[in-house]
Amino acid sequence: MTFEELGLKSGVLKSLKTLGFETPTPIQQEAIPHLLKEESDFVGLAQTGTGKTAAFGLPLVSKVEEGRKKPQGLVICPTRELCLQISKDIQNYSKNVNVNTVAVYGGTDIKRQIQDIKKGAQIIVATPGRLVDLTNRRAIDLNQIDWVVLDEADEMLNMGFKEDIDHILDHTPLERNVWLFSATMPKEVASIAKNYMEQPLEVSIGHKNQTNENIEHIYFTVSDRDRYSAVKRLIDFNPNIYGLIFCRTRRETAAVAEKLGKEGYSAEPLHGDLSQAQRDNVMRRFRTKAIQILVATDVAARGIDVDDITHVINYNLPDEIENYTHRSGRTARAGKHGESLVLVTPRESYKIKQIEKKIRTSFTKGNIPNAKEICEIQLMKLVDKVITTPVKEEDMAEFLPAVMQEFDSFSKEEVIKKFVSAEFNRFIEYYNRAGDINAKEGRGRDRDRDRGERGDRRERGGRRNDENKTRFFVNLGKRDGLNPGGLLRVVCDSTGLKSDKVGRIDILASFSFFEADNNLADDIIQKVNGADYEGNTVSVEVTKKKSDGGSRDGNRGGGKRRSGGGGGHRGKRDRGFSGGGNRSRERSRRR
């Protein structure tokens, strides 16, 4: 099938030629003719990377009235990055028609966005919070909206945007059609379809909850203390990696990126502690491949839409299986092949089965490469580099005679060995001392590991107990436009915590409360304080404990803390290695 056969406007077809889109992807073949011809609701189950932006963007650009400069199509998506990406894509589709698209998202000057809307736009691409803000300020007229696209609906609900989405859908005309796109179909997404749609056409590319078939899923069993060494080996074994490493917390993200950076790897962190400008800068450098590896939290990596990612490394598994689909979906985009590598401890390996069942795909068990395998790969990379490096005869002419004289007494073999050793010895020395770090599956293999994991489990168990909750006071309330979704977003974005870590939320007129586990209190106080909520500075304090005063919690908290046994061991293997071969030293600066 060709794009011409789908029924798109000629101006749009012309733009597609410029973009080099020749054949519609499966989701485009299914969605575009239907969305163009029928005035009906639509549910598209498709991963990122399947071409879904064009699946809704092309019909939208073809359908809006060029002469009517009022918002007619609304695209709602979870993050600023995705919002910018989608609006850029739609602007590219509209190059040869008279359709304006404006992107509105949080964390940036709202006045400019209001002016942009006033200038007249047929399509608005928005993040939910900012759009609600604009509707409250009456800066946007949703009365003439004909189509609402909910993109990455599952992500938006994960991020606590349910209320905002309800608000937006309630403020659009009843006759509008909703086009919902989601990678997975949890019951929360199904309930949006139920509440706001009438007999939608449902199109599923692949099974529901299934990931892209071009992704190879491989898991490695290592003990907790060897996670970092394992990641290094995986990178060393894949020297041309262009990858994303997912960690669970900001602290871990920062630590892993810093360690990799210090050891000469081209790696940088992406997490909520960075300012928007810093994040944009990191993303720009990653996109242009100035950075080889991005170490990110799930929250910060939402909406990352970069082609060519070769590997996703799960430093540890996400708490929720749905997030695994989102992580692995960052690779193997646009028909390419990619690998999603997962590190699990022996005790966590049962989770692999759960994921396999949920996403209907199977994992291969991998072995962390040993020293010999890695050295072989690195050595061949070095040899390849030497062979393919152009020789600048003229520039060297002046110095060559003296150099040649120095090597006069050596044979060809000796010269080669010496050059290779000069580059490679440190690498070999590091790996000579490195043993096998693959852990056997099963229980009781490693005392440190067991200690760590028991510690983890005790902490998790503790979270279920209400006595272990801390109640926080927040200086903003309804009067400041705060709602539960907004509060959840501020807390999760600032701390990197998942939304299920935040318990009860009470929004009052001029202040609010929320609860979270005691062991998260320091982090929350430190990171949420000073955060921005729609132009207001958030301040958070711990309130008096609901139960029986605070003193007991301090003791209990101390007793629950992990023994920290792993820390001492962790550094040993890594010491002495100061970067493999030709990696640039300049990258080792601290961030």
Residue 217 engages ligand AMP in binding (rule: CB under 6 A): no
| CA–CA distance, 426 with 200 (Å, rounded to integer) | 61
Beta carbons of 75 and 110 less than 8 angstroms apart: no
Closest contact distance (angstroms) between CB of 85 and ligand AMP is 8
State which of positions 95-134 bind ligand AMP (CB under 6 A). Answer: none
| Closest distance of CB 304 from ligand AMP, Å | 11
536 phi-psi bin (left φ>0, alpha ψ -120 to 50, beta other):
beta
Cα Rg of the chain, angstroms: 27
Give the C-alpha separation, 59 to 123, whole Å. Answer: 12
- Tokens standing for residue 506: 């009470």
48 sits near ligand AMP (criterion: CB under 6 A) = yes
- 152 interacts with ligand AMP by CB under 6 A: no
Q: CA 104, CA 83: separation in Å to the nearest integer?
A: 8
Residue in 373, 391, 381 with CA at minimum distance from that of residue 424: 381
Tokens at residue 46, please?
A: 């498709």
Binding mask 289-328 for ligand AMP (x = CB under 6 A): ----------------x-x---------------------
- Asked if 493 is part of the footprint of ligand AMP (rule: CB under 6 A), the reply reads no
Q: Quick one: 52 or 217, whose CB is closer to ligand AMP? A: 52
d(Cα 482, Cα 505) in Å, to the nearest integer? 11
Q: What share of the chain is helix, strand, coil (3-state, %, to 5)?
A: 50, 15, 35
H or E segment to which residue 395 belongs: helix 393-396
**Residue number, 211 or 470, with CB nearest to ligand AMP:** 211
Task: Note whether 29 binds ligand AMP by CB under 6 A.
Answer: no
From 20-28, 114-122, 459-467, 532-540, span contacting ligand AMP (CB under 6 A) = 20-28
Q: Quote the least distance from Cβ 180 to ligand AMP, whole Å.
A: 15
Q: Cα–Cα distance between 502 and 517 in angstroms, integer?
A: 8
Sole window of 22-30, 99-107, 266-274, 338-346 interacting with ligand AMP (rule: CB under 6 A): 22-30
528/477 Cα distance (integer angstroms) = 15
According to the binding rule CB under 6 A, does residue 416 interact with ligand AMP?
no
Give dist(CA 399, CA 485) in Å, integer.
Answer: 68
Q: Which of 15, 29, 50, 495 binds ligand AMP (CB under 6 A)?
A: 50
Hey, which residues does 179 pair with through a beta bridge?
42, 149
Nearer residue to ligand AMP within complex by CB, 334 or 396 = 334
Which two structure tokens, joined as six digits, stand for 435?
A: 């043993």
Q: Which one of the spans 24-32, 159-167, 264-272, 534-542 is the region binding ligand AMP (CB under 6 A)?
A: 24-32
Contact pick of 6, 8, 29, 49 for ligand AMP (by CB under 6 A): 49
CB 577 within 8 A of CB 263: yes
**To the nearest whole angstrom, how small is the minimum distance from the Cβ of residue 91 to ligand AMP?**
13
Please tell me whether residue 212 binds ligand AMP under the rule CB under 6 A.
Answer: no
Q: Which of 12, 15, 42, 53 binds ligand AMP (CB under 6 A)?
A: 53
Binding status of residue 334 toward ligand AMP by CB under 6 A = yes
Site for ligand AMP contains 21 (CB under 6 A): yes
Using CB under 6 A, which of the segments 19-27, 414-422, 424-432, 555-563 binds ligand AMP?
19-27
Q: Are strands 512-517 and 469-474 parallel, antiparallel or unpaired?
A: antiparallel
Give the count of residues interacting with ligand AMP (CB under 6 A). Answer: 16
Tell me which of 233, 311, 333, 449 binds ligand AMP, using CB under 6 A.
333
Question: Per rule CB under 6 A, is residue 78 in the interface with ligand AMP?
Answer: no
Measured CA to CA, the distance from residue 491 to residue 514 in angstroms comes to 10
Q: Tokens for 454, please give them.
A: 């028991």
For position 51 contacting ligand AMP by CB under 6 A, the verdict is yes
The minimum distance between CB 331 and ligand AMP, in angstroms, equals 12
Task: Indicate the residue among 21 and 424 with the shorter CB distance to ligand AMP.
Answer: 21
Tokens read off for 26: 């499966």
* Contact between 54 and ligand AMP per CB under 6 A: yes
The answer to whether the beta carbons of residues 29 and 3 sit under 8 Å apart is no
Q: Please give the full DSSP string across 212-226, using - where no structure is assigned.
A: PTTEEEEEEE--GGG
Binding stretches for ligand AMP (CB under 6 A): 21, 23-25, 28, 48-54, 305, 307, 333-334
